[in-house]
Amino acid sequence: MGELEFIAIVAAAFVVAGFVKGVIGMGLPTVSLALLALTLGLKEAMALMLIPSFVTNVWQGLAGGNFKKLLKRIWPLLLAACPAIWVGAGVLARADALRMAAILGLMIFIYAVLALMRVTVPAPGHHERWMSPLIGASTGIVTGLTGSFVMPAVLYLQALKLNRNELVQAMGISFSVSTFVLGLSLAGHSLLPANLGLLSAGALVPAVAGMMLGAWVRNHMSEERFRQVFFFALALLGAWLALRPWIL
């Protein structure tokens, strides 16, 4: 693959991922990971999505006015996720990337199907104290293995019965911490080449352009219809990633 073709694939993936985030307020890491893992490989995809994901999620995590309140509630989840991400990345460094991409595909498929079915998880109630570290650790392992921050953390955060703005901000905080620790873990396990780090910084431009376009589209179409089409397409993409090692 030529250098220009490589850059074009990265730019296109982040325009699409940014567009999705602009329309529904989430999905940039998941979409960019899925598209880049399909075309370039999982380890490369994880390195490339770091900076666009971190910047956009820090922005999301700081907006909303509930930062201290949310951090006080979810810090056990975040604390447990950090060492688990390092462990997961260590396994990834020695594992077959195609099979790890299949795990990513399975996570994406489950997430998309649950979103389409609008499955809700019961509130943890008085179990929250011990469930938060457990969810954080399990999400951290998945993050280190696949780069995905979604499962099961997003379902758990939804179960905390936060209002919409608090949920969006809580996801931004969680994803920001996870992205930062994932970057350290990839670098520590020699999975973050300098050239991909620079290209990840450059990917901010198409990601932001996609987000601006998505924000414009959000004002001109039904967000609910877009969500249905998006999650259906995401389920298909996840299924293909999951099945690819046994098909090819």
Average predicted confidence (pLDDT) for the chain: 91
Name which of 192, 80, 72 is nearest 140 in CA terms: 80
Provide CB contacts within 8 A for 155, sequence distance 6+: 114, 119, 121
Instruction: Find tokens 């999400």 and name the residue.
Output: 139
Which residue bears the tokens 């990971």?
33
For residue 116, the Cα-to-chain-centroid distance in whole angstroms is 18
Length, in residues, of the chain: 248
Taking alpha carbons only, the member of 143, 125, 148 closest to residue 32 is 148
- Predicted local distance difference test score (pLDDT) of residue 127: 93
- Give the global pTM: 0.91
What type of residue is 18? G
pLDDT at 229: 83
Q: pLDDT by residue (tens digit) across 2-48?
A: 788 999 999 999 999 999 888 877 788 889 999 999 889 999 999 99
Q: Tell me the domain boundaries of the chain.
A: 3-247
Name, in order, each residue with C-beta under 8 angstroms of 116's C-beta and a sequence gap of 6 or more: 228, 231, 232, 235
Q: What is the pLDDT of residues 209-225, one digit of tens each?
A: 998 998 888 777 776 78
Give the number of other CB atoms < 10 A from CB of residue 56. Answer: 24
Please give the pLDDT value at position 186. 96
Q: Which pLDDT does position 248 carry in this prediction?
A: 58
Q: Can you list the alpha helix ranges (DSSP code H) found in the chain?
A: 3-24, 28-39, 42-48, 50-62, 67-94, 97-117, 128-146, 153-159, 164-188, 194-202, 204-218, 223-247
Within 13 Å and on the Cβ side, how many CA atoms surround 214? Answer: 25
Dihedral of alpha carbons 144, 145, 148, 154, sign: negative
**CA 37 to the chain's CA centroid:** 13
Residue 174 has pLDDT above 90, yes or no: yes
**Mutual angle of helices 28-39 and 204-218, in 10-degree steps:** 130
